[in-house]
Chains A and B, each alone.
Chain A
Amino acid sequence: MSVNHAQQSDAEATNADERVREVSILNRLLSRPELGSVSGAVLVFLFFIIVAGDSGMFSPDGVLNWSMVSAQLGIIAIGACVLMIAGEFDLSIGSMIGFAGMMIAIPTMYWDWPVWTSIIFAFALALSIGFTIGTIVVRTGLPSFIVSLAFLFILRGLTIALAIMFTNRTIVGGVRGAAEGDLLAAAFGGEIGGWLFQWLADVGWLQSFPDGTPIITGIPMIIIWWFLLATIASWVLLRTKYGNWIFATGGDAKAAKNVGVPTNKVKIGAFMFTAFCATVLAACQVLEFGSAAADRGLLKEFEAIIAVVIGGALLTGGYGSVIGACFGALIFGVVQMGIYFSGIDSDWFRVFLGGMLLLAVMFNNAIRRRVTGAAQ
């Protein structure tokens, strides 16, 4: 808000309703959806700095390690977050990762398509499936929980069946060799900033192997995609009219419709964006590891939803933050790797996750009551 607004409202305050109270900065912070996940992330960092500070978790390759784990989840959490704000769920995200990955690998390895064509093909397929799920949800009025649950099974089954049909196996490898020199493939499986890390190693600020190659050869594209998608999604949500439509659709679809928001299109678009994010992750994985596996992405939809909820989004829609969801994913990655580095039995990770989810939901509920006041 600009300064003259503040002055104007101060001037008005004298003859305004005497019951309007001053809202403190703390209260303003508390009504931000990101608060929970940002403070959670800080706590988690502090904990592991104390517990596992000397285990290599915060060395350059350790940082890269948990950044990548966070980025994998973060990318799909961004899609799930936008969709949840629009008031819907997608349980087929995980299956979509497996499916899209296979749709890149099979044409590349068995139909001799160039990798970039396969990638575009996978994106087109994923977007049309997202469109289909969205259309079914808005046309039938069925809960997206059920519709996307159906697609969880349909897509997973299709992935395995198609893989067996075309390749007679469930893991299709060798993509990396085929992707050699492909620009679009490099946009997903490559790294950037290699010269910077080489320079850092040459100067001696970064450890290097005996042959002179630095221990980190560049920033993987998956992390770049994470930041890129988070920035774009956040900008669209907070700064454009489409963002306003997404919040309005999730907040009260009937009200939004009555003032002319095309709520059906908004929802279908959000489903397509979710499918897009899942495919970005699938492409990064396939081109990074060089293979597609039919079981990839298993249970990822739930992890994405947990990250989004930890990020402050309401399950009922209309409220949430992409930045919050990214911090939720960061908590995920740090804890998962932190438990590994600190030598704690990794079974505790799930206990921690469940606990975090429960805490986050209760916290969000309290926040919502605060935001909407007693009037709700």
Chain B
Amino acid sequence: MSDKILELKKVSRYFGSVIALEDIDMEVNAGEVHCLLGDNGAGKSTLIKTLAGVHKPSKGEYFYEGERVEFSSPRDALDRGIATVYQDLALVPLMSITRNFFMGREITRGWGPFKQFDQDRADQIALDGLAEMGIKVRDPQQVVGTMSGGERQCLAIARAIHFGARVLILDEPTAALGVKQTSNVLRVVAQARAKGLAVILITHNVHHAYPVADRFTLLNRGRSMGTFLKSEVTREQVLEMMAGGEEMEKLEAELAEFTRSDEATA
């Protein structure tokens, strides 16, 4: 578990006068699911965009595979093996699974002007890539628009893994998914970990994060509240540490108040 692949040291990011991130320290190991938790506005998006090469740190250092890096673009980070699956998934609904899988990185056969997309081999690779993640697809020619949200998420993840990702950043992969689909996506996340990838999972839902995560980093208003091993904290403690914790407690207290007053009037 000490196979450190990615590290941030005292990273800050400012947008004009706005402090989006301040003094973030973070370590991610190969073969772990590192969960990034925080309420809306905690700086999760800025942090992953910094990791993915969209933003450059205003201050601090970014180490990848032991060396200090400064990515000039997301493409740069991707070429080094840091793949980000954003919420829009970068899938085209009107195109087939295979065509989406290879979009922008088509495999071809033939030569010169007669070079063409190798449909059969691409179908097979897409099928195998998905099967490896535990997703069964009948027909790789099926259009992505007919797939469920969970299946699309899994497809986007399988694609990133196939094209050589070593660090997989998942932005709210379980948002807007049902219970069963969520567990499918989390299973794929566990598969990726088993393959030795480092997975950075962003979410504000502790219940989704807790079963699959190895470590948690909590963000609140642009600052890190520390990184915790799963064995060190309980689900409730994590929930409490997030800004949402107090709010939830308050809400529970209020709800209890309602019930009491209901009983009183009855």
Assess whether A241 is in contact with B123, with CB atoms less than 8 Å apart. Answer: no
Q: Which residues of A contact B141 (CB under 8 A)?
A: 1
Contacting residues of chain A (236-258) with chain B, CB-CB under 8 angstroms: 239-241, 243-245, 247-248, 251-252, 254-256, 258
Assess whether A245 is in contact with B94, with CB atoms less than 8 Å apart. Answer: no
Assess whether A375 is in contact with B148, with CB atoms less than 8 Å apart. Answer: yes
**Cβ of B75 under 8 Å from chain A:** yes
Segment touching B, from A10-18, A174-182, A321-329 = A10-18
**Cβ of A372 under 8 Å from chain B:** yes
Bound CA–CA A372/B102 (angstroms): 19
Contact mask B117-146 → A, CB, 8 Å, 1/0?
101100110010001000011111101011
Assess whether A244 is in contact with B94, with CB atoms less than 8 Å apart. Answer: no
Contact mask A172-206 → B, CB, 8 Å, 1/0?
00000000000000000000000000000000000
Q: What residue in chain A is nearest B116 (Cβ atoms)?
A: A239
Assess whether B104 is in contact with A318, with CB atoms less than 8 Å apart. Answer: no
Bound CA–CA A17/B136 (angstroms): 8
Contacting residues of chain A (293-352) with chain B, CB-CB under 8 angstroms: 314, 318-319
Answer whether A240 and B117 are a contact pair too, CB < 8 Å, given A248-B104, A373-B146: yes
Answer whether A255 and B91 are a contact pair too, CB < 8 Å, given A241-B106, A248-B103: yes
Contact mask B145-182 → A, CB, 8 Å, 1/0?
11111000000000000000000000000000000000
Bound CA–CA A255/B94 (angstroms): 12
**Cβ of B26 under 8 Å from chain A:** no
**Cβ of B256 under 8 Å from chain A:** no
The count of A-to-B residue pairs whose CB atoms sit within 8 angstroms is 112
Q: Pick the contact of A372 from B123, B127, B146 — CB < 8 Å? A: B146
Q: Which residues of B contact A255 (CB under 8 A)?
A: 88-92, 103
Q: How many of chain B's residues touch chain A, expressed as a range? A: 35 or more
**Cβ of A26 under 8 Å from chain B:** no
For the complex formed, measure the closest distance between the CB of A251 and the CB atoms of chain B, giving whole angstroms. Answer: 4
Q: Pick the contact of B90 from A9, A259, A371 — CB < 8 Å? A: A259
**Cβ of A260 under 8 Å from chain B:** yes
Contact mask A108-126 → B, CB, 8 Å, 1/0?
0000000000000000000
For the complex formed, measure the closest distance between the CB of A243 and the CB atoms of chain B, giving whole angstroms. Answer: 7
For the complex formed, measure the closest distance between the CB of A24 and the CB atoms of chain B, giving whole angstroms. Answer: 13
Q: Which residues of B contact A243 (CB under 8 A)?
A: 117
Q: Pick the contact of B127 from A5, A16, A240, A247 — CB < 8 Å? A: A5
Q: Which residues of B contact A247 (CB under 8 A)?
A: 92, 94-95, 99
**Cβ of B93 under 8 Å from chain A:** yes
Q: Which residues of A contact B205 (CB under 8 A)?
A: none
Bound CA–CA A310/B116 (angstroms): 28
Q: Is the interface of B mostly helix, strand, loop or mixed?
A: loop
Bound CA–CA A371/B102 (angstroms): 20
Bound CA–CA A260/B117 (angstroms): 17
**Cβ of A376 under 8 Å from chain B:** yes
Q: Pick the contact of B95 from A241, A314, A318 — CB < 8 Å? A: A318
Q: What residue in chain A is nearest B108 (Cβ atoms)?
A: A241
Answer whether A16 and B143 are a contact pair too, CB < 8 Å, given A239-B117, A376-B93: no
Q: Is the interface of A mostly helix, strand, loop or mixed?
A: helix
For the complex formed, measure the closest distance between the CB of A48 and the CB atoms of chain B, giving whole angstroms. Answer: 34
For the complex formed, measure the closest distance between the CB of B74 and the CB atoms of chain A, giving whole angstroms. Answer: 8
Q: Which residues of B contact A251 (CB under 8 A)?
A: 92-95
Q: What residue in chain B is nearest A8 (Cβ atoms)?
A: B127
Q: Which residues of B contact A44 (CB under 8 A)?
A: none
Q: Which residues of B contact A314 (CB under 8 A)?
A: 94
**Cβ of B86 under 8 Å from chain A:** yes
Answer whether A372 and B105 are a contact pair too, CB < 8 Å, given A9-B138, A20-B138, A240-B115: no
Q: What residue in chain B is nearest A4 (Cβ atoms)?
A: B124
Answer whether A318 and B145 are a contact pair too, CB < 8 Å, given A5-B127, A247-B99: no
Assess whether B115 is in contact with A256, with CB atoms less than 8 Å apart. Answer: no
Among B106, B115, B123: residue with most chain A CB under 10 A = B106
Assess whether A1 is in contact with B88, with CB atoms less than 8 Å apart. Answer: no
**Cβ of A140 under 8 Å from chain B:** no
Assess whether B92 is in contact with A375, with CB atoms less than 8 Å apart. Answer: no
For the complex formed, measure the closest distance between the CB of B48 and the CB atoms of chain A, giving whole angstroms. Answer: 14
Bound CA–CA A368/B89 (angstroms): 21
Answer whether A256 and B136 are a contact pair too, CB < 8 Å, given A5-B124, A248-B92, A319-B94: no
Assess whether A2 is in contact with B120, with CB atoms less than 8 Å apart. Answer: yes
A binding-site residues for B, Cβ under 8 Å: 1-2, 5, 8-9, 12-13, 15-17, 20, 23, 31, 235, 239-241, 243-245, 247-248, 251-252, 254-256, 258-261, 314, 318-319, 368, 371-373, 375-376
Assuming A12-B136, A241-B108, A258-B88, what are 16 further A-B pairs, CB within 8 angstroms?
Answer: A8-B127, A9-B127, A12-B131, A244-B99, A244-B102, A244-B103, A244-B106, A248-B92, A252-B93, A314-B94, A371-B94, A371-B146, A373-B146, A375-B146, A375-B148, A376-B145
Give the top 10 A-B pairs by smallest Cβ distance, nearest first: A372-B145, A241-B106, A251-B92, A260-B104, A373-B146, A259-B104, A255-B90, A258-B90, A16-B136, A239-B116
Give 28 CB contacts A-B under 8 Å: A1-B120, A1-B140, A2-B120, A5-B124, A5-B127, A9-B138, A15-B136, A16-B138, A20-B138, A240-B117, A244-B102, A244-B106, A251-B92, A252-B93, A254-B90, A256-B104, A258-B74, A259-B90, A259-B104, A259-B105, A318-B92, A368-B94, A371-B94, A372-B143, A372-B146, A375-B145, A375-B148, A375-B149
